[in-house]
Structure 1
Amino acid sequence: MADPLAEIVTLLRPRMKFSKIASGAGPWRLRKEGDGHLFYGAVVEGSCRLQVEGREPLTLEANDFVLIPAAADFIMTSLHPGAEGMALSEPTRLPSGEFRLGDLEGPVNVRNLVGHCAFASPDAALLVSLLPDLVLVRGEARLATLVAFVGEEARTAKPGQEVVLAHLLEVMLIEALRSAASLGASPGLLRGLADDRLAAAIRRMHEAPGRGWSVAELAREAALSRSAFFERFGRQVGVAPMAYLLTWRMALAKGLLRRGGGAVAEVAEKVGYSSASAFSVAFARHVGMAPARYAREGSASA
């Protein structure tokens, strides 16, 4: 059986940019400008406040985990009254390698494990659009442990580090995203997979992307009427069923073309197009270039 969540995380190919331990003491305020890369953080001890642009502030406690797949601007502060309006704090690297905010000598009020990842996949924007824009998982010590493993591996220089880190990041992302699915994330793939009826249709799309699916056929897979399926899919996943299928087909097509997975006609058939010309038109509309050109440029940059 297809596992859509694992397939998408694997296609994203997460790569570590940096990982660090950050602590705060006394009042402090930190602002990070969004760079579009994935941000994650786990609170090891204490508490702090997170304000993501366009969202209500969140108070984070020990064993809370936050994930922002395409990081926007955000502010983190201590819980001291008035911390939201104070001047920005500059982190100081301590001899231990930890980064300290606020008072260098005072008792710590929070300690976080934080990191940034980039996605090696050129399809990252397409795939990230299927994920929630923010994931918050509360009280899961297992996630904090995974983040600690990632941080420890990032700070070593052992053989095979890149491969180990890539797999650890994939496990961390899958664990975080499936935890968020059980908690009812914002509309997206996770909400769809948490709905047993919709999950059946989503898995069938992933198992057989080359099949000529219609909304009516997908509705039958979900054991719903066509209208009920269409409305429920849009509400839970955030896009129409055929738009989701198109996104997945284009991501698969780009991967096949980059890896030399066949001629354009063969790729077209694998992702559900009856002719190379129909596929080429759809591909060019969504990617901005013809599939043959994309294949040449992809192989040249590999």
Structure 2
Amino acid sequence: MVDPLAEVVSLLRPSAPFAKVATAAGPWRARRAEAGRPFFCAIVAGATRLTVAGQEPLVLEEGDFVLVPAAFDFTVTSLEPPPEDEETAYVFRPDGEIRHGDPDAPPDVRMLVGYCVFASPDARLLVSLLPQLVHVRGEPTLTTLVSLVHAEFRARRPARDVVLARLLDVLLIEALRSAPDHAASPGLVRGLADERLAAALRRMHEQPSASWTVAQLAREAAMSRSAFFDRFSRLLGVTPMDYLLGWRMALAKRLLRRDGATVADVAGRVGYGSASAFSVAFTRHVGCPPAHFARHDRAAARDGLDTAEVSA
């Protein structure tokens, strides 16, 4: 049986260029403006407050884990933060920790935090299928996994990148599948938690080349067309056809990277009756024709360049 969540995470190709232990004491605030990097945080001891743009503030306690697949603007503070216009300093301690607030007081909170990189050139598209924020409480497995990521990052042993990639695959899947329904914003996780929608999602992933309609997918979910459309749109944040289009484009990019793949072959494998219809859809969605994408992507691979930069 096809596992949609595992497929999305595998296509993302995660790595971990940065992970650290952060502690804080007294009133403090750390504000970050990022360019959509995936951010994770595990609370080892104490408590803190996290505010992500567009989301309700969260009080994070010991054992909590948060994943933001695309972080742009967020703030982490003490439970009683300083005045809004007051910036607080931080220092790097000799033991490698970063300390926010009072550098001499015993820490009120200890966190394992880090950023991921998704090497897939269509990371933005794939991330759009995931929740904007995942909050998991009381899952020690996640804290252990983050600790392993941090230890591997600091050790700099042989094959570190390979180990980190495997650990992050597990970390992302465990975080996403551990999130209770109420702790994940709309996205693939919420859809897979619904037994009926999960049946339709698996069918889309099993047969992306099928000529799916909303009515056919509703039958797979054993629901009426209108009820299926409304529930799918509410829990995943996109319509069924928009989700299917996004997944087909992600698969198309992967297929176009292969030497010898033709536009006509890829078109048939992702559900288009002609190369021209596929080319129009791909160009509208990606920003360049499929043949152009394939040439540049393969050239970048031969030259050892970052394919994500070339196709962005």
TM category (shorter chain) comes to: over 0.9
Please report the TM-score for the alignment, with normalisation by the length of structure 1. 0.96
Who is 1:56 aligned against?
A: 56
- Matched residue, 1:71: 71
How many angstroms apart in 2 are the aligned matches of 1:72 and 1:107?
31
Structure 1 Cα separation of the partners of residues 149 and 255 of structure 2: 30
Name the counterpart of 1:208: 207
C-alpha deviation, 1:184, in angstroms: 5.1
- How far off its partner does 1:56 sit? 2.8
Counterpart CA distance in 1 for 2:68 and 2:19 is: 15
Superposed counterparts of 1:1-302, under 5 Å: 1-80=1-80, 82-85=81-84, 87-183=86-182, 185-260=184-259, 262-302=261-301
Q: Following superposition, which runs of at least 4 residues in structure 1 exceed 6 angstroms of deviation?
A: none
1:130 deviates by 1.1
Q: Which letter does structure 1 place at the counterpart of 2:212? A: W
The CA RMSD over aligned residues, in Å, is: 1.4
**How far is 1:79 from its partner?**
2.2
* CA shift for structure 1 position 17: 2.4
- Using the alignment, how far apart are the partners of 1:14 and 1:206 within structure 2? 21
CA distance in 1, matches of 2:177, 2:193: 9
**Cα 1:57/1:84, change in 2 over 3 Å:** farther
* SS of aligned partner of 2:138: coil
Alpha-carbon distance between aligned partners in 2 of 1:189 and 1:277, rounded to the nearest angstrom: 30
Higher deviation after alignment, 176-185 or 116-125: 176-185
Whether the 8 Å contact between 1:29 and 1:86 is mirrored in structure 2 is no
1:77 Cα deviation after fit: 1.3
Distance in structure 2 (CA, Å) of the matches to 1:39 and 1:48: 16
Q: Aligned pair in 2 of structure 1 residues 261, 270: CA closer, same or farther (>3 Å)?
A: farther
After superposition, the C-alpha distances for 1:72-110 in whole angstroms (9 at most, x for unaligned) are: 211111123x52436222321111111111222211100
Q: Against the structure 1 CA distance between its residues 247 and 261, is the aligned structure 2 distance closer, same or farther, given a 3 Å change threshold?
A: farther
Q: Distance in 1 between matches of 2:287 and 2:84?
A: 45
Q: Quote the offset at 1:59 in angstroms.
A: 1.2
Give the unaligned 5+ runs of structure 1.
Answer: none
Structure 2 CA distance for partners of 1:114 and 1:261, relative to 1, 3 Å: farther
Give the letter for the 1:43 counterpart. I
Superposed CA offset, 1:25-65 (max 9, x none): 22221111122100100000011111222333221110111
Q: Within 1, Cα distance between the matches of 2:283 and 2:191?
A: 28
User: What secondary structure does 1:20 align onto?
Assistant: strand
Q: Which amino acid aligns with 1:70?
A: A
Distance 1:224 1:231 in 2: 11
Counterpart of 2:167, as a letter, is L
SS at match of 1:54: coil
Identity score, percent = 61
